[in-house]
Structures are given as structure tokens and as C-alpha cells.
Amino acid sequence: MQQVIFLGPPGSGKGTQAARIAEILQIPHISTGDILRANVSRETPLGQQAKTYMDRGDLVPDQLVLDMVEERLKEPDAQKGWILDGFPRTVSQAEFVEEKLLDSDGSSSGGELQAINLDVPDDVLVERLLARGRQDDNEETIRRRLQVYREQTAPLIEFYSDRGQLHDVDGDRSMDEVTACLKKAIAPE
């Protein structure tokens, strides 16, 4: 069972590459950002709570996100593997993934979990996000998201490196070059 986590700052290509790798490996691409945005646009209770945080560039509180991911990982298509894009984003979310993996496969190694860190310089990130122009892609929110990334998500690089599960990948290249490099790292033939 292949379990892949995409780390990386906003705009590093997580969503783009996670979708491509999911297609190659034939496992579901689970993006917490996409699930949250779908809830915001349907104006569900979860979406109404999440919107304020997302508009500011802050992380949505763990409890809302953890319940949402737990439900998604119970779906039948996720039983043969998954790619998590944008989750975990905090150490406590990473601990949650470890607990759930232990529950599901009974091993203490976290199964075949692999974490990808997409590395891209800040000026390139800002340029990409401003060009995309999503609702939360204005300059002030982007700056806040980068700060939140450095404070809360970057520590996960060490978390997965310590466990021998990290692949560092240079994301400042063409999309096809990044995909080729990821494929080699995650699914060598």
C-alpha cells in the first residue's frame, strides 16, 4: 500500500504534482485545500468555519481538518493507498497520520509512507501564486501563508527526515521535469 505525503510551501507545486503522481500510481489524490474550498463554496458548517482562516492565510484549526481527513481516509478507494496533498501541515497533524497508519496496518514502521519536500525559492512562489490569482492569492495573504509555512509546516521536514521517509526534490524546474524526478524517487521501475 503506497502512502505519499506532499510537503512544500504554498505555490511549490504540491497540488499540480500530487495529481500527476496519483494518476501514475492509480491511487486517490486527497487535497485538504480542495476539500476545504469545496465546503466553503457549498457553505457547509465546516466551510463557514474554515473560510475566515483561509481568507487570512492562516491554517484551519486542527480539529476541523483531522475529522475531515479521517472521514476521507475511510472511503473504499483510500484502502489501497493515497496521496495526501497539503496534509499534514503541523506536527500534531503528522502525529495523527502516524496513529492512523498504525491503526490501519498494525505495523510500527508507518507502512510504506514517503514524504516529498518540494523546494522552491520564495520569489518564485510569490510570482506563481500571483499569476494563479485564486481568492487567497493576494500579496498580503501569500506573505502570511509563507510565514505560517515557515513556523508550523517546515518543522515537518525534520520530522520525516528523522524517520528516513523524506525525499527532497527541487521544484524550481518545469512541471514535467519535477514529475520525472518524483516518479524516480517514489516509484522507481
Q: Which stretches of the chain bind ligand B4P, using CB under 6 A?
A: 10-16, 32-33, 36, 53-54, 57, 59-60, 65, 86-87, 89, 93, 128-129, 132, 145, 174-175, 178
* 127 grid coordinates: 510570482
To ligand B4P, the closest distance from the beta carbon of 97 in angstroms equals: 10
Collapsing DSSP to helix, strand or coil, 62 comes out as helix
Q: Which of 42, 74, 80, 134 is catalytic?
A: 134
CB 114 within 8 A of CB 62: no
C-beta of 55 vs 77, nearer to ligand B4P:
55
Instruction: Let me know if 94 is exposed, middle or buried by CB neighbors in 10 A (0-12, 13-18, 19+).
Output: buried
* 113 grid coordinates: 509512507
To ligand B4P, the closest distance from the beta carbon of 186 in angstroms equals: 17
User: Is 132 considered catalytic here?
Assistant: yes
CB 33 within 8 A of CB 19: no
User: Is 14 considered catalytic here?
Assistant: yes
C-beta of 107 vs 170, nearer to ligand B4P:
170
Task: Give the containing element (helix H, strand E) for 81.
Answer: strand 81-85
C-beta of 45 vs 106, nearer to ligand B4P:
45
User: Is 173 considered catalytic here?
Assistant: no
C-beta of 75 vs 109, nearer to ligand B4P:
75
To ligand B4P, the closest distance from the beta carbon of 70 in angstroms equals: 12
Q: Which of 14, 20, 51, 128 is catalytic?
A: 14
User: Is 134 considered catalytic here?
Assistant: yes
Q: Which of 37, 51, 72, 89 is catalytic?
A: 89
To ligand B4P, the closest distance from the beta carbon of 134 in angstroms equals: 7
Kindly list the distances between the CA atom of residue 57 and the CA atoms of 51, 128, 136, 138, in Å, as whole numbers in the listed order: 10, 16, 7, 10
Residue nearest to ligand B4P (CB): 33
* 175 grid coordinates: 512541471
User: Is 144 considered catalytic here?
Assistant: no
Give strand pairing partners of 166.
115
Q: How far apart are CA 27 and CA 70, in angstroms?
A: 17
| Residues classed as catalytic | 14, 89, 132, 134, 145
